[in-house]
Amino acid sequence: MFSINGIALENEALEWVVRGGSSVVSSVEYDRQSLSVPGRAGVTPLIGSERAPVIPIQVETPRSNQGALRSLFQRAGLVLTEDGQDGIQAEVELMGLSPVTYGPADEVVEIVAMLRIPGVYWRDTATGTSDPVAIGSASVGVEVLEGLSAPVTDAIVRVKGGVTGLRVTDSGGSFFEYEEVLASGDYLRFHSDTGRAFVTSSDTWTGGTEVTGHIENGPGPYYLEMVPWFTDPADRVASLLVTSSARTGSPTIEVRGRRAHAV
């Protein structure tokens, strides 16, 4: 069943009952521009952007308890979870409440809350860190975020030096490149949500000297987008290609982030 910020919507104490019109199975629609060339049939395919889906949650409550239900939906920072989907959640925002009263003296209220998922997809509740993978040759394939079913654009990629001419490319074509020499024992940390990068001399995921000016990335619109890659749709990973021109010591790469899920 559904919960908002850990509070169950199927709630015996408050006499709330989730009705059959509720669903967290969200559609995904795309905004796509059409480029037509005079004299040519059809249109040229262009990259589209996902619209934020809106899902309905329908709850029946005694009128005396509707204030509690409204207050729950109208608070800031809403997080939706479903019992059948352990370990994932959706950060949502309220788009509207539609109450309908019925029963003797309108004693019962049925409220439909329309919840939008600004980030489009559900996410893991916990952040995970992949095992370090050795960068032992000029070209190394790395598989991370096993089980994702939607793009991840906010992961942190950390590379331990020494390595020169570093480039990390996702299977979808998104990449970042570090122009400088990363010395042995130093760590380069690239934040794909902001495009910022830092170098530290110790094993840490915070702080350091900012080196964003030495980062090249593309092709956009994200600084680095990790998309599901598979040969079997039931076995999905984010697949990265790590290339370098020279290596010293024992360089490694690891990824920290939360998987994204199409629900």
Using the structure block, give the residue that is written with the tokens 């934020």: 52
User: Residue-wise pLDDT tens for the chain (263 aa)?
Assistant: 899 999 999 999 999 999 988 888 877 788 888 888 899 899 888 888 889 999 999 999 999 999 999 999 999 999 999 988 889 999 999 999 998 888 777 799 999 999 999 999 999 999 999 999 999 999 999 999 999 999 999 999 999 999 999 999 999 999 999 989 999 999 999 999 999 999 999 999 999 999 999 999 999 899 999 999 999 999 999 999 999 999 999 999 999 999 999 98
Instruction: Assess whether 144 and 80 both reside in one domain.
Output: no
DSSP 127-162: -EEPPPEE--SSEEEEEESTT--B-B-S-EEEEES-
| pLDDT value at residue 85 | 85
Residues 248 and 154 sit within 8 Å (Cβ to Cβ): no
Instruction: Assess whether 104 and 74 both reside in one domain.
Output: yes
Strand, coil or helix: what is 68? helix
Instruction: Tell me how crowded residue 165 is: count the other CB atoms within 10 A of its CB.
Output: 16
Q: Distance between CA atoms of 222 and 30, rounded to whole angstroms?
A: 17
DSSP 70-126: HHHHHSSSEEEEETTSTTEEEEEEEEEEEEEEESGGG-EEEEEEEEE-TTSSEEESS
Instruction: Assess whether 45 and 139 both reside in one domain.
Output: no
* The domain boundary residue, chosen from 72, 98, 120: 120
Strand, coil or helix: what is 252? strand
This prediction has a pTM of: 0.90
CATH number of 108's domain? 2.40.30.200
| pLDDT value at residue 53 | 93
Q: Cα-Cα-Cα-Cα dihedral of 121, 122, 128, 131, to 10°?
A: -50
Instruction: Assess whether 116 and 141 both reside in one domain.
Output: no
Q: Please give the structure tokens belonging to residue 122.
A: 């559900």
Q: Quote the domain boundaries for residue 223.
A: 128-261
Residue range 50-109, pLDDT digits in tens: 899 999 999 999 999 999 999 999 999 999 999 888 899 999 999 999 988 887 777 999
Instruction: Assess whether 133 and 219 both reside in one domain.
Output: yes
Q: Please give the structure tokens belonging to residue 60.
A: 């029946």
Instruction: Assess whether 49 and 78 both reside in one domain.
Output: yes
Domain count, the chain: 2
Instruction: Assess whether 29 and 146 both reside in one domain.
Output: no
Instruction: Assess whether 132 and 217 both reside in one domain.
Output: yes
